[in-house]
Structure formats: C-alpha cells, structure tokens
Structure 1
Amino acid sequence: MGKSQKKRSMRRHNPMRVPDSHLPHGLASASASSSKSEAILPIMQKMESVDAAERKWACVAVSNLIQNDPSTRRLLQGKNIVGALITRLSDSEEEVVVEAAGSLRNLCIDGGFDICAEMYNKNILAPLKTFVPKISGTLSQFLASPKDAPENAQKLVYEFADNVITILWCLSETSNKALNAINQISLVPFLMSFLASRDNLPLSTVTSAAQCLYVLTDENRPIIEEVRTNAEYTACLLAAVRSTDTPAKANGKEKDTSDARASAFRVLCCGILRNISPIPPPSIAATVDLDRDVVLPTLEPVLTSIDLGEATQAAQHAIENQESIPQLENLSLKNTPKSDHKTTSELELERLETRLRTVQLALETLTGMCATLPDPEVFGGGSEADADAADGVDEENEDDEAMDDAQDIDMTAEDASPATQTPQPPAFFTSLVTPLLRLVQPTALSFPPLGSPSPHPPTTSALSSIHISALECLNNIFLSLSTSLGGRPSGLAPENGRMVFDAVWRALAAVGTDISGPGQERRKEMWDIGVGVLWGVGNVWKGALVPTAEQVQVLVQFCNATTDISTKVKTIGALECLAQHPESVDANATISSYLLSLLPPSATPPTPTEPLLQAVSALIDIYSDETLPYDVNFRQGRYLDALVRSVEGVRKAVRSVDRKKERELRVRGEEVRDNLVAFIQYRRGLGL
C-alpha cells in the first residue's frame, strides 16, 4: 500500500449552517436576491434611536430577517450590522443588550467563519469579557435563593448566558488568534459551573456550555490541561454522561425536545472526556476505561436513534406546513416577538435538527476513536459473546438479528443462500459498521438541488454533515484495519468487504458526479472522503472486490477531474485495489492503461509527484505475481517497456522534492524509485 490517507479530524462546528455559496458575490447581487432589502434602512435607523423600545425592535428584526435567508444576511453585513449590534452590547437597557446578543448569536451560527472573524476584528470580546463575571454572580444568587428571583428575570439571564456562551463557542473556531484570546478569559470555571448545576438550570443553556467546552478542549492544550487535572471537573463530566435524568415537567413535544437535548448533552460530555483523556489520578474518571465503559455504551445507541429517511419526511412535512412569519411592517414596538420567537413548524424543525446534530456529534467523537481501532471485542461487547459461545449458549437469534440489520440496507451478497452462509463478522461490524453504512446514504434533503438553495438549509446542513462524519468514521476503521491488523483480520469474509464497498458506492452514486457547481461543496467532500473509504476497504479485501465497468470509468473520470492531490492519491489507491481481482481481466487492463498514462513521459501535463508515486507503486503491486490471470495484460500490452521509459522521469520527480521541506515524501519517492528499478529487473529476469 502506498502513502495512507490522513486520519483527518472533523471540525466541531459546521462552518455555515445556512450556506450561501450558491449566491453571486457583491452587495448589488445580495440586494437583488433579497426580498427584504427595503427593510434594511429602517432597521439601521432604529438601531441608533434614542428610544430603547425602537433599539430593541431593531435587534429583534435582524434575527427575524436573516432566518434561513443568506441574501438578507449578506445585505445587512454590507451595512455594518455586526458593528451596530456590538455597540448595542453596551446599551443602557438590559433587554436591548439581551436581544443584541441574541442577534449576534444567530449571525454566528448561520453565517459561519466570515461573520465570526468580523466580530472578532471589531472587538466583540471586550464586552463579552465583562458579561462572564456578571452572569456568574447573578447565577450564584439565583441558585442560592431561587425563590427570591422572579421567573422572568431568571429566564432573561439564562437566555443571555446561552447567547454569550454560543458566541464564544463560535468565535473560538474562527482562528488561532481568536482562540488564544478566548483562552485568556478563564472560561473553564464559568462553563463547568453550568455543568455542575445542571439539575437547577435550563437544559438548553447547560448544553450550550457543554458545546463550548467541547470545542475549547479540541486540541487546545491550555484548556485540556485545566480540565483534565481538576478531579472535580472530570468527576462532574463522568456523572453527567452516566445520568439518564430528563426534566420531570416536560411532556409531549416538550419532552421530545428535552430528551433530544439531554442526549446531546451526554454526547458532548463524552466528547469532552475523550478530548482531555488520558485523565490522571486522583480523579474517579482515571479508574475507568473511557472508550469501553463510557463512550461506546453512550454513543453506539445514538447511531441508531434516528432514521434519516423518516427524519427527512418529517422535515419536509414541517416545511410544507410552515406558518407565515410576522411581516416586519406588522411588528409593533409593544408586541415585538423576541429574537427566539418560533412557529410550531420551526420548533419541529429545530427539534429534528437537534437530534441530527446529536448524531453528528457522536460520529465526530467516534471518528477520533476509530483512528486507533481498539480490540474488536471492545465494540459491541464481543468478549461477552465469546464467553457465551464458550458456555454453549445458543446465539442463533443474535445472528439472525445481525443479518436482518445488514439486509435492511440491502448489503448482503447477491448469491448468498442458506446452504452457503458465511461466518458472521466480528461484533463491531454489526454494532458500528452497519449503522455507519446506513448513515452515509443520502436522503432527499441531504444536498441542495443543483443550482438552487435547499428548501431548509439547516436540515440539509445537518444531514450532509452526518453523511460526511459517518464516512470519516468508516475511513478510519478500515485504514486502521488495513495497517494495524495485517490487512486481513480473521472473521472478515470477502462478503463483508463487498457489502461495505457496495454500500459506500451506492451512497456516492446517489450524491452524483456533478459536484463542481456553487453550493455543492458538500457533495464534493462526500466524494473526497468516500474514495478514501473505498481505498481502505480495498486494502483489507484486496483481490476479493469484483469491479464493474461503471465503477472503473467513474473513478478514472473523478481522478482526472479532481485537483486535490490527496484525493487523487486515494482514487489511484482505490483503482489499484479493484485492479487486483484475479478474474477481472478487462477491468485490470482499463485501470493499468490509465495508471500508465499518468507516468512520464506520456503524461501531459505531468502528473504531480505524490499521485505519480502512487501510480508507480500501484503498477508494481498489481503485477508482482506473474501467475495471476490478468498478468496477460502486462505481457501483451508491453507494460515493461512503458515502465522502462518512465524511469528517468520518475527520478527527476523524486529529485525535485525538497529534502528539508518534504522529507517524508522524498523518502517515499526514493523508495518507490528503487522499487521500480528492482521490479523492472525482476520482470526482465522472468523472460515472459
């Protein structure tokens, strides 16, 4: 195998919940595509009004206008809405401050990195820093004497805290400069106080605190050390994961929302624990095998907690039945809805998004774990199954359920029959791989239609994030298997490999190959990661995957089209694995001819060094056994002559790699060059 795919970690926050890349750039185009452009001027005027009610109205109007509307958001940005709202954070009226924070929060979530960077550059951290101790002091008073605080005052503070925390969470992902500045605010005690008092605070605010801490502990050494070395903090996180309590007063849809948020909270705490592990004594968390006893038992059920097809149908129903949002001209100053005002359909869509994002969060945590796959029995309790088998326990029913799981997504081998059943795969295959393969399958709302926006961008963003995160998990699972377990772990029959390959291919086929247009960045990301999964699967079951003409053709076209070096390498790796099915002589000829076309001197323009080395390595691997049926292509096609002609070009490519700047690539290049010369000598010596 050539250079392996990188075990890339996912970003914790989707860069843009309401994507706008499908829109043309510039204020003129934003004004032309926005149906609310005439409302911008009144908002900006009232933002500076001497009347506090008008200033509050303006802040609320911003949230109402930008909802799922990137054109209006861009237009407001062009009028310096960010600067105006940051100014309102120092307003003399508390309600104006709260609403300004709410609008800034919504801009952060919907607008992504660009708006967050603008906020940081306009010094939003200055007022935010002053809010942290004020919120802490007020919360301490509420918790000490809850009966002395009016309910509406508590609600105002909780919502304000939620807004401030969410802004800090989004800003922390904007840049290293912003992250370093946030590290100086001493947020950990502030955020952990919400988690410690979770039974007495609104779940939504506590979950926001957990989300912020989850992001801050993602490869951020100062915060990691601060949390992991505090035994009280780690014990609190462990207790939060193990707790199954949900608000007792909740019922109906409110209970559904509470259950979804409670699940999200536990998943976030799992993610924090993994971010800060290993945890040192004397914390009680140091005595626990986090992956086996805490993280997996919590996260594995989340993967099957939602059916993406049913969730899509529910979202489509809610979209079709959306109530109209109050028009700006009908909003009176006395009866202005708050910035978090939502209709029934919007609340249902928000509940669905919360459930989808929880699955995405679980996948992100599992992705890191799968990069170093533990012993197979860790996944799905394989050791207990082995013990039952040793005791003579009948596992027929369990096997039937496992097969049903696979059949639900139509992944069994077509020629399987009761008389020729293959051994069941290891436990982690059923408990982890099968749910992941379901989660990579796109739905009707997973990607925007070509050339137009999604009917509900937040749902589309959440669904596409799940597919991509699930592919990341699969990528790391099979990369780990192919590298750490010698390529062919026992118990993984060829049918398992074909099942996985076909399921991933089916998902990519559903995504389609039209991935270069504006707004289709997530489709492209699916393919970029998906070919890595195909390569990993191909390496584990090399020679067992039967290629189809369509698969070969599409992969060749994709390899030619992509400009990303890493993706090109992965695609060549996937083709190499497909070429090694012994009986697929025609497919082998097509793939090898393509790989030869990438070699000098025939490649025009010249193939970049890394893909070139992968192509050379692939040809050596494919034809290292002259007894295989497809070796006839090597002899009849005079491939040896083509390889001889390529030697000098390969040498030049390797020499062009800077030893100091790209040492790893230079070492690999020299190895491939030497292997090529040795392979030519070997094939000449055969005299075939």
Structure 2
Amino acid sequence: MIMGKSRARRFKPVAFTPTAAVKPAAGPGDSESTESLHAEELLHKLQSPSAEVREFACASISKLVQQKQVIPAFLQRDAIRCLGPLLLDKSMSVRETAAGALRNLSTCGGFEVCDDMVTRDIMTPLVALLRECSVRLDSEPESNSKDATKNQVEDIANQTVNILWNVCESNSKALNIFNKENCVEIVIQCLRKFPSDLELAVSAAYCLQTVTEDNPELMASIDASALQTLETVLMTSATTMEMRLLQTLVAGTVWNLKDRIPPFSQADTINAVLRILSEVLSQDAGQFIIKMKETESSRLRTAAIESEEDEAALNEEDGMVEGNVKEQNGDNFSDLNPVSNEELRQASFLLVAQKSALEMIVNMCCSDEPSDDDWEELSSSDESESCLEKSLADGGQLMSPLCLSSEVHSALLNHFIPKKVLEKTRFPDAAALQICRHYSAWKALITKMSTVQHRALTCLHNILSMVDIESLGGASALQELAQHLSELIFIQTDGPKQEDFLEAASSAVRALLQTMAFRGIPQCMTSEQVMSFAEACVQSSNASTRVNAVSIIGVTGSVLAKGDNTTETLERIGNFLLGIATNDLSLVVAGGALDAIFDVFADGDEAEKAAVEIKLLQALKKIQPAFKSKIRKEGREKYSTDQLCVLDNVRTNLRRFISYLESVEKKYKNRI
C-alpha cells in the first residue's frame, strides 16, 4: 500500500482536527439549480474588495462543501482557481477561511477533487503559504496582540498542512512537489509545536505518516534533527488522549523511516514503536467512554450550580442540553466540525488512535501482495509461464513470501500485540453503546467503535498469516479463537452486521480456517455454520467479502473431502461454488470459486462421488468458454496485472481439472 500514490489503499485515516466550519442548515430538498445559483453568488463574492465579504464567502463555501452533492456546482465554476489566490490574501482572516474551504473541499471531495486541485495548480500558493507560516511560527511575540496573530498563523498552518496531507495522499504529482520543495522540513517544524498546539502537531503527524510511506525520494530530507523531533514526541509522557493519538501517528512515521535508523538502533526503535501501539490498545475504549460521560455530567452539574442554573444541569441529563448540541453540530458530529465538549473529544481521540494503531499493525504484518480485493494467493498449482512473462514484462514482481523480521516478530509478542488485537475484535461495550445512543452528540462514537473492531479483525487475519502459530499458543489457542469468531458471527445479535463487518470477519475466518487446515487442527465450526456464513457473505456488494466466502468454503470442503460419509455436504458445497463461478459479475470472485472447486474435488472417494452426482464435469465445460472469453474481453481493462496472473493460472488449471474429471467419469462408468 503506497500512501500518496495508490488509489487502492485499504485504509483512509481521517483526522479529528476541527476547522472553523459548521454544517449548514440547508435542507435535503434544495434543488440543483438553487445550489448552482448559490455557488455562483459566493464565488462572485470572493472577488469583492471588502475583506469581510471575502471572508464570509470563504466560510460559507467551507460549510457548504461538506455536503458532497454541492461540490460539483462549485467545481463547475472553477472554485479552486477562485480560492487558490486567497491563500495569499492580504487579510489573514481571509487566508484562514480560504484554507479551511479548500481543506473541506479536498477532504469531502476525495481523490477526484484532489486531482483537480493539483491540475489547477493549488500547490503553488499552498507551498508559498506554508513557507510564510514557517517564517512566523517560531517568531517571538512582542505583545498580546502579537499573540493573537501568532495563534492565527498556527491555525492557518493547520489548515494548510491538512490540504497538503489530502492532496499528497491522492496525487503523485503533489507528492513530487512536496519532495522537491522540501515541505517536510516545515511540517516537522509544525510537529515541534506539540507542547503548545497539539491540534497543529496532530495534523502534521498525519501528513508525515502519509508522505513518508514508500517515498524513497524523501528519505534524504530526513536529517538527524527531524529524527530527534520524532523521538522526543515518542518519549514525552502522554497525559491526554490527544497526545496518545499524536504518539501513535508519529510511531507510524518512525516505522516508515526505519531504514533511516542506524542498524544498531533498529531493534530499539521497533520496540519503541510497538510499545506505543501496545499502550494505546491496552485502553478499554468502552470504559473510557463511560468515564468521560460521567466526567462531563459532573462538570456540567458543577458549572450549573456555580452559575445558579441547576435546572439546565438536570435537563442535560435528560438529553435537553444534548439536544442543543445536536442542533449546533448536526445529527452526528463530523471530524470537520468543532466539538467544544472536551470529554467527547478525548473519547474520540482514543478511538481514532486505536484505529490508527491497528492499521499500522496490519501494514507491519503485510507483504507486498496485491491489495485489490485481498485476493493475494496463487491458485492451486504453479504459475503458468505466460503469467510470469506478463508480470515481468509489465515491470512487476510476483507475490512476496509472507515473512516477518525476527525483530518485528519478537516485538509483537513481547508487547502482547496479538492478545490485544484479539481483545479489540469483540463487539463494542454494551453500556458504552447505550450512552452513545442516548446522547445525540455522542452517537458518532458508535461508528468509530465499530471501525476499531473491523480493523482488529483485519489485523487478526494478517497476524495469523504472518506470525508463528506456536508463539500464539498453538492448536488450543486457535480453537479458542475459532469459538470466539463463531460467537461474533452466529451468537451475538447486538453487533453490526454491515458490509465492513462482513469483510473483516470473513477475512479473519478465512485466515483461521486456512491455518488450522494446514496444521491438521480439527475445525470448530460446523459445515452448516460455515455454509450459512458464506451464503450471507456472497450477498455482499464487496468483492473482497465474496472472495473470502468462496475461500472459506473451499478450505472447509477440502477438509471434508478427506473424511468419510461427507458426499452430501460436498454436493451442496459444489453446487454453491458452481453458482458463484457462473453468476458472479467479478472475474476475481468467479476465479476464486473455480479455484475452491479444484481444492475441494481434487482427490478422495467422497469428492469423486459428489462430483459425479452434481455433474461437475458438464458444468465446468459450460463455464470454461465463457470464463476464457471474459478474461480476454475484460481482463486488461478491469483487473491489475497481479489479478490477471491469478486468473490466467485458474484458466490453465480449469483445463487440466476438466481432463482429470473426464478420467473420474470413465472410472465410474467402468464400475457400472
């Protein structure tokens, strides 16, 4: 995964750093023509000679573009070229609001808008503004009025760094300009402000984590002073969850820069990084949310008593004050919106830090296999020569072996990372969920808690694939894990069963069953449970989830094929996989289903009997020409080189497997 370059990133972190924007009160019934007229009017006001009018227009745009349906109206009227020059406006307030508008536009608009921003040369004024901020950031204030200006400079720097983070994550040209202009030096300068301005430091840390991932051109710009700054942040005592988040992000940057660390210090550096992640994951988010809510209630009651507003304090506990918060911030507070509630901020910082920590562990335990649809494995037999030639001709390489350095492996275990990841796979704390559901301002934490669980399940998949099983506790630990996953999937009904959960859970189940099958450890899930789960997964619109489903069925079937009296179950499995291979619109999923068929029916009397009963040979002969045709027509247009390698191998194996089934058919006819 190449942050800043790749569009197939598995995770997209979102900073919890607020802008000055608040969601507009515009209703869903606003017409397209009204949006267009409003956009045109505001963009016209950007040219006003009055700084106050320009500032008002920027602030209004900043609010509006948080509604995705409004963004095209602004882009069609060249909003980026209109806002860009205002980054260098003579009024500092206009600069700040223009930067806020561009930040929200880049965040809410996604890759396409970031590309458009770079095409329209946003980097020129952006880099110039960053340099101006750099000059002023470390200047000594001479008076209280200067203090105010200095704070505004830090606010502008915060918005600017966020825009840089967004565009560099999305666009390779922006990243190249970032490298060429040595912007990293200024972002490190922003990070150094962490003792006095944590918000700016967190934004800088997000940006650094993004631009340092797989960016060898930047490595030369990282000097001893920069490394010392990163180390200082890691070693500082964390007294708030915002500081914990900062340290987590800096740990991610240090991991990206580990090749710049002297060899004799690498083991200590890896241990320091894993220590930070371990400390973040050790926190019980549910209990922390409950504690923060109690603290908030106590604070509000005390404040109300002191100001003789007892009734307001009591009403807050009934949700009335919460209703006021909802009115201000919308139904669910956005990461773009200011949150004045300090306890809520701290709870959110913890959840974002845990999500980021888990994403880092996923990347640590990840080889260079293709990430698209998580279809990282080769099919049953060796690569075909045409696939190998194609990959080499395209300048690519075949999938790397799954391996971890001894330092990383030891650090993961010494800091009990697998155990802590497993703990995070559990559904969110029921009491914490009840609090978040009851108080509208806290509702957005529900999504964040679920995201932590999903990341943990994905992380579990990678740990099972990469870490020595004996060091995790051996066969008994795997069977306990299987029981835990069964409870997550089949027993508990409170938890979310949305797309993200299915993808993450199916990924973990897949890795577990593959590992147990390879080790010959008895499966704990019944074939009925596995089929039920797979049938739910193949209804998903997410191709990765469907690939996981057919792989799970394939592993289960291949184990059953070695047993006795399993013909009936194998028939059901065969029909299930044939249905996917025939009807799924994704060639990757269809290819995965065919590969699973090869694994299930390749050997054994039970498998042979089932294959004859369901007329597997005849079904595959019908599938073969359509599958070949789809590869030829859709392959290069829709799929990566690595995926085409696997599909080409499946096509080759399909031909061989049909020949094998013909011999099976002859054998059974001779018996008759």
Alignment of 1:239-318 (within 5 A): 239-244=232-237, 259-281=240-262, 286-291=265-270, 293-308=271-286, 311=289
Alignment of 1:39-438 (within 5 A): 43-44=42-43, 46-63=45-62, 65-66=63-64, 69-70=67-68, 81-142=79-140, 150-196=146-192, 198-199=194-195, 201-227=196-222, 230-244=223-237, 259-281=240-262, 286-291=265-270, 293-308=271-286, 311=289, 320-322=323-325, 324-325=327-328, 342=338, 344-345=340-341, 349-371=344-366, 372=403, 377-381=410-414, 428-438=417-427
Decide whether the 8 Å contact of 1:569 with 1:610 is kept in 2. Answer: yes
What amino acid does structure 2 have at the position aligned with 1:233?
Answer: A
TM-fit CA distance, 1:356: 2.2
Give deviations 1:107-150, integer Å, cap 9, x for gaps: 333443344344334332221121122222222433xx777982
**CA–CA distance in 2 between the matches of 1:432 and 1:160?**
37
TM-fit CA distance, 1:213: 1.0
Structure-1-length-normalised TM-score: 0.68
**CA–CA distance in 1 between the matches of 2:431 and 2:659?**
45
TM-fit CA distance, 1:359: 1.6
**CA–CA distance in 1 between the matches of 2:565 and 2:64?**
55
**CA–CA distance in 1 between the matches of 2:192 and 2:106?**
27
**CA–CA distance in 2 between the matches of 1:591 and 1:486?**
31
**CA–CA distance in 2 between the matches of 1:438 and 1:379?**
23
What amino acid does structure 1 have at the position aligned with 2:83?
Answer: L
Decide whether the 8 Å contact of 1:168 with 1:212 is kept in 2. Answer: yes
TM-fit CA distance, 1:178: 3.0
Give deviations 1:552-579, integer Å, cap 9, x for gaps: 23522532x4566554332111123344
Decide whether the 8 Å contact of 1:88 with 1:100 is kept in 2. Answer: yes
TM-fit CA distance, 1:209: 1.3
1:555 aligns with 2:528: no
Identity %: 18
Q: 1:505 aligns with which of 459, 466, 489?
A: 489
- Residues 485, 98 of structure 1: alpha-carbon distance in 2 compared, 3 angstrom cutoff: same
**CA–CA distance in 1 between the matches of 2:553 and 2:217?**
43
**CA–CA distance in 2 between the matches of 1:676 and 1:288?**
52
Partner in structure 1 of residue 383 of structure 2? none
TM-fit CA distance, 1:511: 6.6
What amino acid does structure 2 have at the position aligned with 1:534?
Answer: V
**CA–CA distance in 2 between the matches of 1:509 and 1:83?**
51
- Residues 47, 353 of structure 1: alpha-carbon distance in 2 compared, 3 angstrom cutoff: farther
- How many residues are paired up? 573
Partner in structure 2 of residue 475 of structure 1? 461
TM-fit CA distance, 1:441: 10
1:466 aligns with 2:452: yes
What amino acid does structure 2 have at the position aligned with 1:577?
Answer: V
What amino acid does structure 2 have at the position aligned with 1:470?
Answer: A
What amino acid does structure 1 have at the position aligned with 2:163?
Answer: I
> In structure 2, the residue corresponding to 1:153 is in which secondary structure?
helix
What amino acid does structure 2 have at the position aligned with 1:378?
Answer: A
TM-fit CA distance, 1:50: 2.4
**CA–CA distance in 2 between the matches of 1:117 and 1:260?**
33
What amino acid does structure 2 have at the position aligned with 1:234?
Answer: L
| Bigger Cα displacement from structure 2, 438-447 vs 676-685 | 438-447
Partner in structure 2 of residue 546 of structure 1? 525
Partner in structure 2 of residue 406 of structure 1? none
1:11 aligns with 2:11: yes
**CA–CA distance in 1 between the matches of 2:658 and 2:85?**
66
Partner in structure 1 of residue 574 of structure 2? 595
TM-fit CA distance, 1:162: 0.9
CA-atom RMSD in angstroms: 5.0
- Residues 146, 208 of structure 1: alpha-carbon distance in 2 compared, 3 angstrom cutoff: farther
Structure 2 regions of 5+ residues with no counterpart? 1-7, 19-25, 297-316, 331-335, 367-402
- Residues 197, 551 of structure 1: alpha-carbon distance in 2 compared, 3 angstrom cutoff: same
TM-fit CA distance, 1:676: 6.5
TM-fit CA distance, 1:261: 1.9
TM-fit CA distance, 1:357: 1.7
> In structure 2, the residue corresponding to 1:278 is in which secondary structure?
helix
Give deviations 1:88-119, integer Å, cap 9, x for gaps: 22322222212222232233334433443443
**CA–CA distance in 2 between the matches of 1:183 and 1:149?**
35
Give deviations 1:226-248, integer Å, cap 9, x for gaps: 33xx33322332232122155xx
More helix by share: 2
Structure 1 regions of 5+ residues with no counterpart? 1-7, 19-26, 247-258, 328-339, 383-426, 449-453, 514-522
- Residues 269, 582 of structure 1: alpha-carbon distance in 2 compared, 3 angstrom cutoff: same
**CA–CA distance in 1 between the matches of 2:530 and 2:34?**
44
Decide whether the 8 Å contact of 1:446 with 1:463 is kept in 2. Answer: no
**CA–CA distance in 1 between the matches of 2:87 and 2:557?**
62
1:574 aligns with 2:569: no
TM-fit CA distance, 1:263: 0.9
TM-fit CA distance, 1:206: 1.8
- Residues 458, 57 of structure 1: alpha-carbon distance in 2 compared, 3 angstrom cutoff: farther
**CA–CA distance in 1 between the matches of 2:507 and 2:587?**
19
Decide whether the 8 Å contact of 2:102 with 2:163 is kept in 1. Answer: yes
| Bigger Cα displacement from structure 2, 119-128 vs 264-273 | 119-128
Give deviations 1:467-500, integer Å, cap 9, x for gaps: 432232122122335xx76999735445323234
Decide whether the 8 Å contact of 1:108 with 1:167 is kept in 2. Answer: yes
**CA–CA distance in 1 between the matches of 2:435 and 2:603?**
44
TM-fit CA distance, 1:626: 4.6
Decide whether the 8 Å contact of 1:545 with 1:578 is kept in 2. Answer: no
**CA–CA distance in 2 between the matches of 1:675 and 1:447?**
54
**CA–CA distance in 2 between the matches of 1:148 and 1:77?**
40
**CA–CA distance in 2 between the matches of 1:558 and 1:493?**
26
**CA–CA distance in 1 between the matches of 2:289 and 2:220?**
39
Partner in structure 1 of residue 615 of structure 2? 642
Decide whether the 8 Å contact of 1:308 with 1:443 is kept in 2. Answer: yes
What amino acid does structure 2 have at the position aligned with 1:527?
Answer: L
TM-fit CA distance, 1:210: 1.5
TM-fit CA distance, 1:594: 4.2
> In structure 2, the residue corresponding to 1:112 is in which secondary structure?
helix
What amino acid does structure 2 have at the position aligned with 1:133?
Answer: R
Decide whether the 8 Å contact of 1:360 with 1:466 is kept in 2. Answer: yes
- Residues 195, 367 of structure 1: alpha-carbon distance in 2 compared, 3 angstrom cutoff: same
TM-fit CA distance, 1:607: 8.1
